Structures are given as structure tokens and as C-alpha cells.
Amino acid sequence: MIGLAMAAFAYFSYLSKTSINPITGEKQKVSLSAAQEIAMGLQSAPQMAAEMGGETHDPALLQYVQAVGQKLVSKTEAANSPYKNNFQFHVLADKQTINAFALPGGQIFITEGLLARLDKDKFEDEVAGVLGHEIGHVIGRHSAEHLAKQELTQGLIGAVTAATSDGTGMSGAQIAQMVGNMINMKHGREDELESDKWGVKYAIQSGYDPEGMIRVMEILKQAMGNNRQSEFSSSHPSPENRIVKLREEIAKLRGGAAK
């Protein structure tokens, strides 16, 4: 009974967090207000930068990335979002890691390691594709959604721990944790594909070639090599799958057939 009560509380608490995204119109379960997302991102940004070699020592490169990022914000629906005045674009000095990511509220990072891999002839289009994708994560409030799901998962884990152990060698908590991880991984893959669509849309709206995103996926595919997990057990869709979806989205927005 205690376990059932805990599970019911966690579930109904999750349902109570429903709100409408003002940009996408999507009904979402989120744990934070836009102001809280902005504050969390600002507070976390220095630590995130420190963990990846700090900010770049190349002011020209930083200025270039910031200019592309701000152009994307000004030319797209991001300019109408609650985060419009809080988007900040950072270049991390880490030359080995090939990555880009967004914190809640508009703090967006790209590593020198990724920038060094981009095609010099298509550099701005590819930078725009990466930054547009990360802006999509912010607009989509994916971090806030993920936090709400984590809170639900932790509540269910606590409920199962209080209620059961199935005798198979795994405790109820371990089983619930495994299921919770699978839920959150699926959620992460959907977020990536959704942000890929926004990246294509924002690139086109800002006058960039959206094919730049496909070239970035090829770079990620090469960088991952043979060390990739299966898509089922990964928090991200495979680069091959993302390329297929990107081509479909580009064709749809351009009004043609996918190549």
C-alpha cells in the first residue's frame, strides 16, 4: 500500500507539471519556469566550461561563432521565445572532444575539436547547423522535460523499493531503474531528432545551406568509428538514421523529394 501510494503521488505530480510551449504549441511536462531555466543555465555554464578546458583563447573564432548564433536567433522564432535575450554562444578550448550541447535557458557550447573537423569551404553553414540544432533543444525545453521525467522515475523507483523484490537476483529498485533509464533514453533520441528538424528549419530561415547538418552527421559518424553502441541502448539516434531524417526534412521544407 505504501508503494502504491508513493507511485500514485509521483505519477500525479508528474501530470500536474503540464504546460504549453509558447513557441511550438506543444503540451509538455516540465519542472521549471523559463526564468528558472535561464538561471540554471547561467549558474552551470562556468563549471561546464571548466570541465572541458575552459573557454577558447581564440577571440576571432569566438566572435565568429557568436555572430552565427545571434543571426540564427534573430531570424527565427527563437527571437520570440522567453530566452531571446539570454542566448549566449561559447567555444570551448577542448581540442579533442567533438561535441556541442545546450544548457537550459540559452547557454550553447561548441568545442574547438568539432570546429576543427568542419569543412573550411562550408564552415559557416555547418556551424549554423550545429548551433541551430542546439537552439532547438532550448526552444523545445528538452532539459526541463528531462528533469520532470527524472523526478517521475525516481519517484517510481522509491515506490518499487518500498513494495517489492522479485526474487530473481535483481531488486525492485534495480528493475525500476533499468526501466526508467530506457524511458529516458527514448526521450533523448526523440529530442535529438526533433532538434535536427529545428536545425534544418532555422538554417533555411537564416539563409544557410541546411545540407551543412548532413555533413556534420558524417563527421560524427567518422569520429565514432566502431565504438558506437546500438541505437536501442544509446541516448542518441545513430548518425545514419539522423542523416535519413535530415534529408527527408530538407526535402519537405524545400518542397521536393528526398535524395
The whole-number average pLDDT for the span 170-193 is 58
Contact 238, 228 (CB under 8 A): yes
pLDDT band at 223 (very low <50, low <70, confident <90, very high): confident
The model's pTM is: 0.77
Contact 130, 114 (CB under 8 A): yes
- 183 burial (CB, 10 Å; 0-12 / 13-18 / 19+) is middle
At residue 188 the predicted structure's pLDDT band, cuts being 50, 70 and 90, is: confident
Residue 95 lies in a domain: yes
Is residue 106 a part of any domain in this protein? yes
Task: Collect all residues with Cβ–Cβ distance below 8 Å to 162 and sequence separation of at least 6.
Answer: 2, 3, 6
pLDDT at 159 over 50: no
Residue 138 within a domain: yes
Q: What are the tens digits of pLDDT across the range 124-144?
A: 999 999 999 999 999 988 877
Higher pLDDT, 222 or 184: 222
Which has the higher per-residue pLDDT, 257 or 60?
60
pLDDT of residue 170: 47
In a domain, 107, yes or no: yes
The answer to whether residue 113 is domain-embedded is yes
> What SS3 class is residue 17?
coil
By residue range, what is the domain housing residue 81? Answer: 2-254
Residue 242, in any domain of the structure: yes
pLDDT of residue 112: 97
Helices 123-139 and 172-205 sit at what angle, rounded to 10 degrees? 130
pLDDT for 228: 52
Evaluate whether residue 259 is within a structural domain: no
pLDDT per residue over 3-55, tens digit each?
Answer: 445 445 444 454 455 677 777 777 766 777 888 889 888 988 998 899 888 99
Q: Which residues of 92-104 are buried (b: 16+ CB within 10 A; e: fewer)?
A: bebeeebbbebbb
How many domains does one find in the chain?
Answer: 1
